Amino acid sequence: MTELPNPTTHESWMDDAACLYTDPEIFFTDLHTNNALKICATCDTKIACLNYATRNNITEGIFGGVTAEQREEQKGVRYG
């Protein structure tokens, strides 16, 4: 089983994650990207999850329905 990179303290939103009982491995291998994104699409904590990845500079895996490559592309982009 894959360990989350840069593990930090538990945050309350994680208790409501759609992936709570899913093997985290699928969020960290290209082989399962589509399955992981389908789970994220149903998740009520997408924004908190994406913020978590951004705040902790996590450079691997899918968080908030966004791949690591997409997060890297969005770095420095400002909206509004």
SS (H, E, C) the chain: CCCCCCCCCCCHHHHHCCCCCCCHHHHCCHHHHHHHHHHHHCCCCHHHHHHHHHHCCCCCCCECCECHHHHHHHCCCCCC
Choose one: 2-10, 40-48, 72-80; the region binding ligand SF4 (CB under 6 A).
40-48
From residue 18 to residue 37, the character string flagging contacts with ligand SF4 as x (rule: CB under 6 A) and all else as - is xx-------x----------
Q: CB of residue 80 vs ligand SF4: minimum separation in angstroms?
A: 22
Q: CB of residue 13 vs ligand SF4: minimum separation in angstroms?
A: 8
Q: Are 15 and 56 in contact (CB under 8 A)?
A: no
Q: Tell me how many residues contact ligand SF4 (CB under 6 A).
A: 14
Q: Which residues bind ligand SF4 (CB under 6 A)?
A: 17-19, 27, 39-40, 43, 45-46, 49, 62-65
